[in-house]
Structure 1
Amino acid sequence: MSKVIFITGGSSGIGKSIGEFLSEKGYVVYGTSRNPDNMKNHPFNLVALDVTNPKSISNAIAEVITKEGRLDVLVNNAGMGITGPIEDTPTDEMRKVFDTNLFGAIDVAKAVLPIMRNQKSGLIINVTSIAGYMGLPYRGIYSATKGALELVTEAMSMETKRFGINVTNVAPGDFATSIASGRYHTPIFENSAYKENYQLNLDLMDAHVDEGGDPIEMAKTVYEIINTKNPKLHYKVGDFMQKFSIVLKRILPDRMYEKLLMNHYKL
């Protein structure tokens, strides 16, 4: 029996690449979109889902269960970006990103856990970010949401192991997707103390995404996890320096690591 895969945020970018790759491997794949009717000729099934709306979550999960009778793998991929100096970024916009990247992922996981517990098997893969391992300048809120989801993953893994459920996460680096266009960008205020540095870093961020790797690498990693009996708790997918930056943070004194980041971001 083919496993049933549920991918939040499956209409574009990393989610679409994962869904398309798994469909080609013979899995039954359901992706999600806020407006699936607008996505014609999509390579796999799409259902309507807004991860910030509990009713929308329950309806989407119920639709999959009605059609398939089970749900084997959740890929918690839906997310949004945010940029800006902490001081200048509206707190309400920060909350919106936490609602999507952290609480949205938690609420979808909470909706599928009773199903997986009843099946006595299941796999939850939370898509986080290499940015979640460090507080990056002008991306601090995004880093915080992904870092929090990493820790939630660790806790959920221990809580659900005895039910036959595995919980893991995949942290991508920069990939060539449309995430930059979908971010909330704090405006560059004329009287801001961060005006010049923030503009410089916005240009750097967009360049990193444009020059990023092929999202198919994320799809291959998810496929590997699905086919691993006891998957690792943390996976990182990105170029050598992106992954090595996490190692450096572990071994270098804090202020030395901070100086490296400041040099990189021209601060």
Structure 2
Amino acid sequence: MSKNILITGCSSGLGLALTNYYLNKDYKVYGISRNKPDINNKNFVFHSFDLSNISLIKMQLNDFISSIKDIHIAYLNAGMLGEIKELSKLGIEEMQRVYELNVYSNKELLDILATINTTNIIALSSGASKNASKGWASYSLSKAGLNMLVSLYSKELLNTKVIALAPGVIQTPMTDYIRQEIDDDIFTSAKVLKAGIIQKPSEAAKKIDEFIKRVDEFESGSFVDIREI
């Protein structure tokens, strides 16, 4: 039976891979991103919106999301890395932009999802939410905040499984930037990233769907690193 999937950040990277994965399973996919992906499929319903416009999310997206009625999985995938630089050289405004997109936009989306029947909500987190690596301050703080946001909402969304999921390292423009542009003598975490296993987005999408089949094994509100299960 066809199921409804909601994916934010659906135009590239993991979001695009998840979109194509579920369309190939004949699911109905509702996508939100700034740019429309090159997808021509009757089961793909797209809404263009920049989630960094926090104050407009409920005004612009409430009707679109509420019209879905029954959502099997909502993937809160949209996010940004921010600059890799020393914390002492990082301005509050820079950190705020990352935090607003990675945390507050998802807060607004969770408020909308709370009003409709949503079975699973998967917020894409990161191992960086647990590891204090030099240079990653904006991203790490925001993903740690996302983990706590998920934990808090799990106490209110009692009929929904809410999970913060770290999918592992994926080949995306973000990781390409780190591997190609960041000086790994200064930021040693980049050296680890370059030496480690990097998944293709399509591989990560399949692993995430395999996780969904086991989602009932995990407590709502949990942070799960897919590499550790």
Q: TM-score with structure 1 length normalisation?
A: 0.71
State the alpha-carbon separation in 2 of the partners of residues 46 and 204 from structure 1: 38
State the alpha-carbon separation in 2 of the partners of residues 18 and 140 from structure 1: 27
Q: Which residue of 2 aligns with 1:248?
A: none
The Cα of 1:60 is off from its aligned counterpart by 3.3
> Aligned to 2:39, which of 38, 41, 48?
41
The answer to whether the aligner puts 1:207 opposite 2:194 as a matched pair is yes
The answer to whether the aligner puts 1:55 opposite 2:33 as a matched pair is no
Q: Which residue of 1 aligns with 2:171?
A: 176
Q: Secondary structure at the match of 1:212?
A: coil
AA aligned opposite 1:154: S
Higher helix share: 1
Q: Which residue of 2 aligns with 1:109?
A: 110
For the Cα contact (< 8 Å) 1:157–1:167, is it kept in 2?
Answer: yes
AA aligned opposite 2:191: L
The Cα of 1:113 is off from its aligned counterpart by 1.0
Aligned counterparts, 1:45-194, within 5 A: 45-53=45-53, 54-66=55-67, 68-82=68-82, 83-116=84-117, 121-161=118-158, 164-180=159-175
Q: Secondary structure at the match of 1:21?
A: helix
Q: Secondary structure at the match of 2:155?
A: helix
Say how many residue pairs are matched: 220
State the alpha-carbon separation in 2 of the partners of residues 231 and 51 from structure 1: 31
AA aligned opposite 1:172: P
State the alpha-carbon separation in 2 of the partners of residues 29 and 70 from structure 1: 12
State the alpha-carbon separation in 1 of the partners of residues 122 and 215 from structure 2: 14
The 1:61–1:18 alpha-carbon spacing in structure 2 relative to 1, beyond 3 Å, is farther
Q: Which runs of no fewer than 5 residues in structure 2 stay unpaired?
A: none
> Aligned to 2:224, which of 235, 253, 262?
235
State the alpha-carbon separation in 1 of the partners of residues 153 and 217 from structure 2: 14
State the alpha-carbon separation in 2 of the partners of residues 93 and 177 from structure 1: 21
The 1:202–1:222 alpha-carbon spacing in structure 2 relative to 1, beyond 3 Å, is closer
Aligned counterparts, 1:12-51, within 5 A: 12-36=12-36, 39-41=37-39, 44-51=44-51
The 1:182–1:90 alpha-carbon spacing in structure 2 relative to 1, beyond 3 Å, is farther
For the Cα contact (< 8 Å) 1:80–1:182, is it kept in 2?
Answer: no
State the alpha-carbon separation in 2 of the partners of residues 196 and 181 from structure 1: 13
Q: Which runs of no fewer than 5 residues in structure 1 stay unpaired?
A: 189-194, 245-267
State the alpha-carbon separation in 2 of the partners of residues 169 and 42 from structure 1: 30
Structure 1 segments, 4+ long, off by >6 Å, are: none
AA aligned opposite 1:237: I
Q: Which residue of 2 aligns with 1:224?
A: 210
Q: TM-score with structure 2 length normalisation?
A: 0.81
